[in-house]
């Protein structure tokens, strides 16, 4: 059977996604990419984009970079204020990338085609916006160096909520409870802010002088953060547990949930990548990272790997998660509708996906549209409609943990479609899960056109 280029690309993607080919477990393999990155650019923050690529900021290069899963880099500088030092970056609910400009005191937006728009209204002089994330309310939330937490709509309207001016607020992430969580580096605290701007701070259980820095939502329903030679876990109720990295001045910085259900973090002072289980068992990996790289930010990629920036090494790194499965096969099926939540209630029908904070919904798709129980992944077209709020959906395997990557983003009232490869459960159940980050119900439709096993 002759396959089109579309199917060849899909097959290549699923091989990367599932780590297929040898039938043996992969080691944690590091690959570094430097071609196409301007000398001295200082890649800082990185995030998975809605276009299937990774996007990163260049703090000294004053650019936004894009790298494909194959390592091809494109840089964008047009429309970015000179010497603005792009810092944090995240995918927005509008299908664009949003980034902070630390010295220009503004927020930038870049489309997947590289068109930049900057927003400065509502920012005070010296606010120095840093971390940024998509919130459960369809807006972007960001931190300011002097204790501020800000919110900006997809139309560029900003509001700022202040905590302590001495807090040294660093990074921010959306939590499983529908709130935003952030680190206070100077005061050794973790903060929580509701979408209405109500702030609560937690310090009990955090080592004095621990310097919390990176933070992410974990696969266990908790928040995970990095500290001076430790990683910490905080429950939505504010209960903290710390786990020692035991590397001596490792300085963990960025942290992200991986597709393997573990937490992955950078160790900037010793040029390594660390990994923690949800129970706090820590391992680190150094082989393959060039000395003096200073790995800074990390994110889960669409290929099942973790991608990180090398601030001093001027590179983007990729580390495999070690997933393993058997040899692949690809099977095209006639386009077929697997599920539609607009239909009457049922396993593959209604009700609509419930708002953020509700349990992720599980769909068993094996046996539907000719998908066998031993299928490892499916090629799909996904559609959202009747969207009561802005946000994103994340599709992941039924026996796995949230990956931290988006499958489709949308605005309130918008109908939107996207293609993708979705991994199914490895336990033979043929299931997938869907996370809804929006603050309202969303109808979800899934059509399949091929499966892999």
- Whether the pLDDT of residue 1 is over 60: the answer is no
Contact 129, 123 (CB under 8 A): yes
3-state secondary structure of 108: strand
Contact 394, 407 (CB under 8 A): yes
| Span 194-223, pLDDT tens digits | 999 999 999 999 999 999 999 999 988 899
User: Over the Cα atoms of the chain, what is R_g?
Assistant: 21
User: What pLDDT does 404 receive?
Assistant: 67
User: What pLDDT does 50 receive?
Assistant: 83
- Whether the pLDDT of residue 23 is over 70: the answer is no
User: What pLDDT does 117 receive?
Assistant: 98
Residue 196, class by beta-carbon neighbours within 10 Å (0-12 exposed, 13-18 middle, 19+ buried)?
A: exposed
Cα gap 395→336, rounded to integer Å: 18
Q: Any residues with CB less than 8 A from the CB of 5 and at least 6 apart, and which?
A: none
Distance of CA 149 to the CA centre of its chain: 20
| Span 132-182, pLDDT tens digits | 999 988 899 999 987 789 999 999 999 888 777 788 899 999 998 889 999
Cα gap 240→223, rounded to integer Å: 9
Quickly count: other Cβ atoms within 10 Å of residue 417's Cβ. 13
- Whether the pLDDT of residue 354 is over 80: the answer is yes
User: What pLDDT does 288 receive?
Assistant: 83
DSSP character string of 135-178: -TTSSEEEEETTTEEEEE-TT--EEEEE--TTS-EEEEEE-TTS
Quickly count: other Cβ atoms within 10 Å of residue 27's Cβ. 11
User: What pLDDT does 421 receive?
Assistant: 83
Average pLDDT over residues 299-321: 92
pTM here? 0.74
Q: Average pLDDT over the chain, rounded to whole? A: 87
Catalytic residues, which ones? 253
pLDDT grade for 296, boundaries at 50, 70 and 90: very high
- Whether the pLDDT of residue 431 is over 60: the answer is yes
Cα gap 276→250, rounded to integer Å: 14
Which residue has 């035991």 as its token pair? 246
Q: Any residues with CB less than 8 A from the CB of 12 and at least 6 apart, and which?
A: none
């Amino acid at each position: 059977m002759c396959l089109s280029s579309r199917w060849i690309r899909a097959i290549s993607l699923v091989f990367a996604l599932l780590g297929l080919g040898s039938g043996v477990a992969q080691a944690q393999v590091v690959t570094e990419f430097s071609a196409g990155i301007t000398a001295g650019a200082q890649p800082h923050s990185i995030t998975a984009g809605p276009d299937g690529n990774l996007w990163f900021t260049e703090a000294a290069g004053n650019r936004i970079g894009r790298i494909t899963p194959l390592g091809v880099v494109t840089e964008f500088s047009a429309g970015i204020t000179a010497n603005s030092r792009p810092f944090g970056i995240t995918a927005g609910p509008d299908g664009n990338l949003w980034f902070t400009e630390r010295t220009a005191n503004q927020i930038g937006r870049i489309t997947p085609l590289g068109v930049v728009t900057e927003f400065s209204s509502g920012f005070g002089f010296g606010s120095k916006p840093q971390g940024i994330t998509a919130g459960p309310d369809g807006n972007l939330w960001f931190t300011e160096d002097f204790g501020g937490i800000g919110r900006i709509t997809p139309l560029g309207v900003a509001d700022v909520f202040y905590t302590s001016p001495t807090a040294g607020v660093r990074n921010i992430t959306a939590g499983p409870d529908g709130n935003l969580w952030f680190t206070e580096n100077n005061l050794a605290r973790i903060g929580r802010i509701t979408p209405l701007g109500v702030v609560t701070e937690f310090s009990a259980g955090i080592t004095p002088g621990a310097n919390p820095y990176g933070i992410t939502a974990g696969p266990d329903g908790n928040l995970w953060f990095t500290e001076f030679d430790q990683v910490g876990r905080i429950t939505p109720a504010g209960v903290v547990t710390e786990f020692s990295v035991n590397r001596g001045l490792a300085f963990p910085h960025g942290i992200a949930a991986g597709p393997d259900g573990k937490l992955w973090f950078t160790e900037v002072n010793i040029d390594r990548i660390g990994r923690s289980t949800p129970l706090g068992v820590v391992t680190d990996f150094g082989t393959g990272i060039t000395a003096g790289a200073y790995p800074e930010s990390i994110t889960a990629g669409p290929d099942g790997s973790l991608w990180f920036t090398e601030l001093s090494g001027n590179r983007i790194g990729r580390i495999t998660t070690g997933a393993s499965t058997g040899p692949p096969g690809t099977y095209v099926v006639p386009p077929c509708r697997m599920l539609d939540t607009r239909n009457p209630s049922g396993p593959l029908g209604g009700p609509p996906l419930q708002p953020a904070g509700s349990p992720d919904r599980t769909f068993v798709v094996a046996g539907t549209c000719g998908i066998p129980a031993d299928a490892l992944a499916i090629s799909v077209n996904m559609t959202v409609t009747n969207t009561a709020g802005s946000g994103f959906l994340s599709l992941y395997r039924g026996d796995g943990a949230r990956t931290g990557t988006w499958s489709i983003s949308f605005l309130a009232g918008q109908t939107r479609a996207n293609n993708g490869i979705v991994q199914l459960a490895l336990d033979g159940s043929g299931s997938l899960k869907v996370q809804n980050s929006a603050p309202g119900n969303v109808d979800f439709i899934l059509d399949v056109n091929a499966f892999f096993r």
